[in-house]
Amino acid sequence: MNRSFIPDSPFIPVGAPVHRRRLSRIETAFIARRNVLEIIPSYAYRQPIVSGDMLIRWHMMADPTGMKRVMLDNLANYPKSEIMRRMLRPAIGESLFNADGADWKWQRQAVAPVFTHRNVVALAPAMSATAERASRRLTVSGGRAELVAQMLTATFDVICDVALSGREHFDSQTFSRAITQYFQTAGRASLLDFLGFPEWFPRPGELLAGSSVRTMHTMVAAAIDARRKQATGLADDLLDRMLAAQDPETGHRMSPQDLIHNMQFFIVAGHETTALALAWALYLLANAPDWQERVRAQVAAQLSGRTATADDLAAMPLVEQVLEESMRLYPPVGLLARTVVADDELCGRAMRPNDTVFLPIWALHRHEMWWQESARFDPGRFDPVTGPKRDKYQYLPFGAGPRVCVGANFAMMQASIILATLISRFRFLPSQPLPHPVMTMTVRPEPGVFLEVQPIE
């Protein structure tokens, strides 16, 4: 096996606490509210599947063959889990991400054209303009910056262009405060779910999330209204596609509520995840100066001080490798969940109807069976020529199969353009406090990614 680890690099990226003893049901419930990553048991990093019984039968599977069965070969048997859907429902209803079956299919067909390779390349100039603005903001940051906030501002700009062709109706700070509040309330796993309270029983998180959801929905609704008043079809953005979308079989169109829910999801998912991937990548590079210099040398040779464009990316493969390795160690979506419909078998274990199957992408990416020295930061793993071979289903930051992230190309292009531009202009160094990975809905660095930022003369 090819090795590209830097043997004397002492840096081990920050991980999540792992409990070695079995947690009681009540402990699990409390810990899951604080940080979902902490309920992943130590043996889930060593065995393909771990099962348990906590009112519901559950399984936690981090096995490539099993992932393929759930995400592709037997997809219909593993719809999205009700626990996850109910966490998201107040904000995104039964829109694309939450829907299943025929209801999912036509919504997916309606939005997929916005994300074809050709259309994503057409959006690259907006991404370069954002990278330029992010770079100007860092120049005036006074030598130290919190990179999650910086990256959220940058990626929010771009998603507003794609989703709404502009941001007149959006105050990014109000919107992002509402998102954070939502993640901290409804986004926290409910104690009541773990304790087996019935579906209809109101969850406190859902009630608390009400005002943040209202703030977000009001802003999205204003943008949709404004578009309805103009002629549609001129912008050819996501909103126009959704306004025009029609189910070919039933003639059904999106209701005003469906539109708000879908736009809401795209705006949140379209920028939060990418910003987190970028912030974690900068944390890793700041702590691995050898890699930072290697990437900078490649980028500087290509850009000579320019802002990166889509055409530059092929000549700077290390940028993509760094992002891939960052999303291995810190997958923005760290855990997926599915419900079993009919009897099946995964990793030799019987699945019964209504069992919950957790797919801990976080543990899959750090699993002893699939990765060598899995805790180390080594972008060389993703070198297409010298990197070790891997199973497609052992690395799933964007999921896989028909439900794979529709915005994956978009996210990678945006993140690459921003990362390349910033690395060519600034040197990043570690600072305090250190970030800790905390997952409620996404894997966020808490309390942020604080770095020293030195302009390169």
> With respect to ligand HEM, which residue has the nearer C-beta, 217 or 271?
271
Q: How far is the CB of 452 from ligand HEM (least distance, A)?
A: 25
Stretch binding ligand HEM (CB under 6 A), from 26-34, 50-58, 406-414, 420-428: 406-414
Q: How far apart are CA 22 and CA 41, in angstroms?
A: 8
Query: Is it true that the peptide bond before 317 is cis, omega within 30 degrees of 0?
Result: no
Q: How far is the CB of 362 from ligand HEM (least distance, A)?
A: 11
Q: How far apart are CA 115 and CA 98, in angstroms?
A: 19
Stretch binding ligand HEM (CB under 6 A), from 30-38, 344-352, 391-399, 418-426: 391-399
Stretch binding ligand HEM (CB under 6 A), from 285-293, 381-389, 402-410, 430-438: 402-410
List Cβ neighbours of 136 (8 Å cut-off, separation of 6 or more). Answer: none
> With respect to ligand HEM, which residue has the nearer C-beta, 77 or 273?
273
Tell whether residue 69 is a contact of ligand HEM (CB under 6 A).
no
Count of chain residues binding ligand HEM (CB under 6 A): 22
Q: Which of 411, 417, 423, 451 binds ligand HEM (CB under 6 A)?
A: 411
Q: How far apart are CA 213 and CA 261, in angstroms?
A: 10
Q: How far is the CB of 302 from ligand HEM (least distance, A)?
A: 23
> With respect to ligand HEM, which residue has the nearer C-beta, 29 or 405?
405
Tell whether residue 398 is a contact of ligand HEM (CB under 6 A).
yes
> With respect to ligand HEM, which residue has the nearer C-beta, 96 or 134?
96
Stretch binding ligand HEM (CB under 6 A), from 47-55, 120-128, 243-251, 267-275: 267-275
> With respect to ligand HEM, which residue has the nearer C-beta, 258 or 297?
258
Tell whether residue 123 is a contact of ligand HEM (CB under 6 A).
no
Tell whether residue 336 is a contact of ligand HEM (CB under 6 A).
yes
User: Each residue of 255-293: b (16+ CB within 10 Å) or e?
Assistant: eeebbbbbbbbbbbbbbbbbbbbbbbbbbbbbbbbebbe
Q: Which of 106, 170, 183, 266 binds ligand HEM (CB under 6 A)?
A: 266
Tell whether residue 242 is a contact of ligand HEM (CB under 6 A).
no
Question: Which of 402, 387, 202, 419 lies closest to 312 in space, CA to CA?
Answer: 419
Rounded to the nearest 10°, the torsion over CA 274, 276, 279, 283 is -130
Q: How far apart are CA 211 and CA 318, in angstroms?
A: 43
> With respect to ligand HEM, which residue has the nearer C-beta, 108 or 195?
108
List Cβ neighbours of 44 (8 Å cut-off, separation of 6 or more). Answer: 50, 60, 62, 360, 363
Tell whether residue 332 is a contact of ligand HEM (CB under 6 A).
yes
Query: CA angle, corner 6, sides to 363 and 16, nearest 5?
Result: 25
Phi-psi domain of 436 (left: phi exceeds 0; alpha: psi -120 through 50; beta: other): beta
Residue nearest to ligand HEM according to CB distances in the complex: 407
Q: Which of 108, 241, 253, 349 binds ligand HEM (CB under 6 A)?
A: 108
What are the tokens at 8? 């004397």
Q: Which of 87, 120, 351, 405 binds ligand HEM (CB under 6 A)?
A: 405
Tell whether residue 277 is a contact of ligand HEM (CB under 6 A).
yes
Strands 450-455 and 443-446 come out as unpaired
What are the tokens at 170? 């959006």
Tell whether residue 96 is a contact of ligand HEM (CB under 6 A).
yes
Q: Where are the beta strands (DSSP E) in 197-352?
A: 336-339, 344-346, 349-351
> With respect to ligand HEM, which residue has the nearer C-beta, 274 or 416?
274
Q: Which of 60, 64, 88, 97 binds ligand HEM (CB under 6 A)?
A: 97
User: Is 56:83 a contact under the CB 8 Å cutoff?
Assistant: no
> With respect to ligand HEM, which residue has the nearer C-beta, 269 or 453?
269
Phi-psi domain of 156 (left: phi exceeds 0; alpha: psi -120 through 50; beta: other): alpha
What are the tokens at 138? 């860092």
Task: Identify the H or E element spanning 85.
Answer: helix 82-92
> With respect to ligand HEM, which residue has the nearer C-beta, 399 or 448?
399
Tell whether residue 241 is a contact of ligand HEM (CB under 6 A).
no
Tell whether residue 269 is a contact of ligand HEM (CB under 6 A).
yes
User: Is 83:255 a contact under the CB 8 Å cutoff?
Assistant: no
Tell whether residue 333 is a contact of ligand HEM (CB under 6 A).
yes
Residues that bind ligand HEM (CB under 6 A): 80, 96-97, 108, 266, 269-270, 273-274, 277, 332-333, 336, 397-399, 403, 405-407, 410-411
